[in-house]
Amino acid sequence: MTGKTLYDKIWDAHLVHAAEDGTSLLYIDRHLVHEVTSPQAFEGLRMANRPVRAPEKTIAVPDHNVPTTEGRDKVIENEDSRIQVEALDKNARDFGINYYPVSDVRQGIVHIVGPEQGWTLPGMTVVCGDSHTATHGAFGALAHGIGTSEVEHVLATQTLIQSKSKNMKVEITGKLAPGVTAKDITLSVIGQTGTAGGTGYVIEYCGEAIRSLSMEGRMTVCNMAIEGGARAGLIAPDETTFEYVKGRPHAPKGAQWEAAMEWWKTLYSDDDAHWDKVVTIRGEDIAPVVTWGTSPEDVLPITDVVPAPESFKGGKVDAAKRALDYMGLKAGQKLSEIEIDTVFIGSCTNGRIEDLRAAAAILKGKKIKDGMRAMVVPGSGLVRAQAEEEGLADIFKAAGFEWRLAGCSMCLAMNPDQLSPGERCAATSNRNFEGRQGRGGRTHLMSPAMAAAAAITGHLTDVREMM
Amino acid sequence: MDKFESFQGVAAPMPLVNIDTDMIIPKQFLKTIKRSGLGVNLFAEMRYDDDGNEIADFVLNQPAYRGAEILVAGDNFGCGSSREHAPWAIKDFGIKCVIAPSFADIFFNNCFKNGILPIALPQEQVDILMRDAERGSNARITVNLENQVLTTSEGETISFEVDPFRKHCLLEGLDDIGLTMERAPAIDAFEAQAAQARPWV
């Protein structure tokens, strides 16, 4: 008999019902909710007079819309944003679900708050009406984004109708070179497999380079599994995971901790498990990377040049032409000579304490370039507080960065933090789509250390030159 | 949800690859707490200039395609965010079927929840339909879900695959939640067993 992958094991442990055609009903352990993709789902429940089936397993926090400036707990200026946040306040209250309002120091980006509070645990199924739910896969949880109809379905039934994905293994062998981070790993994988390379699969990341990552780094890797097209990304739990989880507010304690550990230690892919696709990358071959185009697959080492559209095949030729036109770049231009206007450090990809430490290490004692607009948006109120305690906030402020309150902010620019047309940004977020950070805005994705380096020099910069 | 009926309609060609959900419905339109009325914002940043005027050469602004009911697009359609506002906007515009070589997973799922049929076909077949779509409003493509067949304006037929459960739900206009509610005893039993096996959850 063939062994099971980690995905197979979690799937089997949550199967409520399987029909002959493969359509399955999967039990959901944790449902995370935010203000943008949930109002219509709660409205649906009200219309059908349905309760939330498991409010104790449902956690809500406003993050997408909220301003990141002081005073937001008193008033949110944008009326539509205010209405959405107020709707979440009301829905959380009416349906009795766990809630972290804007005024709570624990508020932050839903994918940072969940792990921080110990809601996310190994072996769980976790969903949220947000594609970056993949983040929670770092704990060896099966976690993925869902649409609003599915949000309503989970609220009402605590289950999801699913068909099983295929298994894909992404192995990163060996060690990372200095200056290379989890962000460079995850972008490099997408660069190799393409944004549709993971479509139909759940990815398990493994190998020495992944094992060596902290939980923060693992979350960065899994966060962008969706950018590679995969339904979810997973990393098998180990001592690093258990160490992170232990003692968190909603983590099991005492005898329950022991019982949980017993099961968690079985959560790995068997040696003889079947993989439908395998990708192997040498950790030593990964360089600090940046994106040049308008898709996360448009990624190259910082030492490279903007590629010629003709070097691609099929529909990608026209897409690359369109991307260079949108980005205002020319083929052959050195990536390290691209000048930037703005730096954004934050998001569910890179808004955790380790990310802020990495950026602050580069910025310490330095100033950002004259005229540069630079902001740090911590992923949660607790990350922010910790960064202040460690002196990181002072480093950012002394360098010329704005020190903001927690939220999604300029990653998707639903709040007032936006790019103007033509404004070029070095960003630690996850999407460089046209208009993502504001209409006409130009986004280059990179690691926090690389973004900090660019803030100092005013152009995309190889961080290794500053270490 | 309305039942999905066979229909013949104009197909709009969008040969671009990686059409993402930010293109389909930019974030400024996600602030609604309703599902309806998003059709006017579909592809807003490609469709309107900074002053809100229509950009004449964008496909859905061309007279031939203003009433399009089918979209033929490039690879990896709907990649990016989970926003269901994307299929809501597509449906509200009047498009009931999207054809592409491949779709992003979440968008693909979201379509079925909203009475939209996404059809993935090999590139060569998408190319045939794209050429047909480029001929404008005189070239109408027929979508028959019951028989799983597309017919081009010239009578060429292309069959397609669809998950049997999803096909059934589309044809009957079934609500997923109602169906799952019928399995409440199985959910209850699972919860009881899981509370024993994994009490810390």
> Considering only alpha carbons, which residue of chain A is nearest residue B35?
A40
Q: Report the pLDDT value the prediction gives residue B175, as an integer from 0 to 100.
A: 86
Tens-of-pLDDT digits for all 467 residues of chain A?
Answer: 689 999 999 999 999 999 988 899 999 999 999 999 999 999 999 999 999 999 999 999 999 999 999 999 999 999 999 999 999 999 999 999 999 999 999 999 999 999 999 999 999 999 999 999 999 999 999 999 999 999 999 999 999 999 999 999 999 999 999 999 999 999 999 999 999 999 999 999 999 999 999 999 999 999 999 999 999 999 999 999 999 999 999 999 999 999 999 999 999 999 999 999 999 999 999 999 999 999 999 999 999 999 999 999 999 999 999 999 999 999 999 999 999 999 999 999 999 999 999 999 999 999 999 999 999 999 999 999 999 999 999 999 999 999 999 999 999 999 999 999 999 999 999 999 999 999 999 999 999 999 999 999 999 999 999 99
User: Does residue B136 sit within a domain?
Assistant: yes
Q: Report the pLDDT value the prediction gives residue A1, as an integer from 0 to 100.
A: 67
How much is the average pLDDT of B169-175?
A: 93
Q: Report the pLDDT value the prediction gives residue B168, as an integer from 0 to 100.
A: 95
Report chain A residues whose CB lies below 8 A from the CB of B186: 16-17, 25
- Is CATH 3.30.499.10 the right assignment for the domain spanning A290-466? yes
Please list, in sequence order, all residues whose beta carbon lies within 8 angstroms of the beta carbon of residue A89, skipping any fewer than 6 positions away: A62, A99, A101
Report chain B residues whose CB lies below 8 A from the CB of A150: 109-110, 113
User: Does residue B120 sit within a domain?
Assistant: yes
Q: Is A205 helix (H, G, I), strand (E, B) or coil?
A: strand
* d(CA A38, nearest CA chain B) in Å: 8
> Considering only alpha carbons, which residue of chain A is nearest residue B185?
A16
Q: Write the pLDDT tens digit of every residue in A88-105.
A: 999 999 999 999 999 999
Residue A440's alpha-carbon distances to A308, A353, A377, A422, B77, in angstroms, are 22, 31, 22, 5, 21
* d(CA A400, nearest CA chain B) in Å: 29
Q: What ipTM does the predicted assembly reach?
A: 0.94
Contact A123 B198 (CB under 8 A): yes
* d(CA A366, nearest CA chain B) in Å: 35
Contact B26 A435 (CB under 8 A): yes
Of A84, A144, A435, the CB nearest to B33: A84
Q: Are A460 and A302 in contact (CB under 8 A)?
A: yes
Identify the CATH number of the domain defined by range A6-165.
Answer: 3.30.499.10
The range of the structural domain enclosing residue B71 comes to 7-176
What are the start and end residues of each CATH 3.30.499.10 domain in chain A? 6-165, 290-466
Please list, in sequence order, all residues whose beta carbon lies within 8 angstroms of the beta carbon of residue A60, skipping any fewer than 6 positions away: A32, A33, A34, A38, A88, A91, A92, A97, A98, A99, A100
A348 assigned to a ligand binding site: yes
What are the start and end residues of each CATH 3.40.1060.10 domain in chain A? 166-238+268-285
**CB-based contacts of A212-218 (< 8 A; 24+ apart in sequence):** A212/A175, A212/A176, A213/A182, A213/A240, A214/A240, A214/A354, A215/A115, A215/A138, A215/A139, A215/A240, A215/A241, A215/A244, A216/A182, A216/A352, A216/A353, A216/A354, A216/A355, A217/A181, A217/A182, A217/A354, A218/A138, A218/A182
Contact B45 A16 (CB under 8 A): no
Q: What is the CATH number of the domain that holds B25?
A: 3.20.19.10
User: Does residue B186 sit within a domain?
Assistant: no
Q: Report the pLDDT value the prediction gives residue A379, as an integer from 0 to 100.
A: 98
Q: Which CATH superfamily is domain A166-238+268-285 in?
A: Aconitase, Domain 2 (3.40.1060.10)
Strand arrangement, sheet containing A232-234: A232-234, A201-206, A166-173, A277-282
Q: Report the pLDDT value the prediction gives residue B86, as an integer from 0 to 100.
A: 98
Q: Report the pLDDT value the prediction gives residue A270, as an integer from 0 to 100.
A: 98
Of A81, A131, A161, the CB nearest to B81: A131
Please list, in sequence order, all residues whose beta carbon lies within 8 angstroms of the beta carbon of residue A171, skipping any fewer than 6 positions away: A205, A206, A207, A210, A278, A279, A280, A281
Query: Cβ of B191 under 8 Å from any chain A Cβ?
Result: yes
Contact A316 B113 (CB under 8 A): no
Which site among A40, A46, A126, A437 would you substitute to test the B interface, given the most B Cβ atoms closer than 10 Å to its Cβ? A40
* d(CA A196, nearest CA chain B) in Å: 6
In A158-206, at which residue ranges do the beta strands (DSSP E only) sit? 159-162, 166-173, 201-206
Of B165, B187, B194, the CB nearest to A19: B165
Q: Among residues 74-103 of chain B, which lie with CB inside 8 Å of chain A?
A: 74-76, 79-84, 87, 102-103
Q: Report the pLDDT value the prediction gives residue A22, as an integer from 0 to 100.
A: 84
Number of compact structural domains in chain B: 1
User: Does residue B196 sit within a domain?
Assistant: no
User: Does residue B197 sit within a domain?
Assistant: no
- Two structure tokens written together for B128: 């045939």
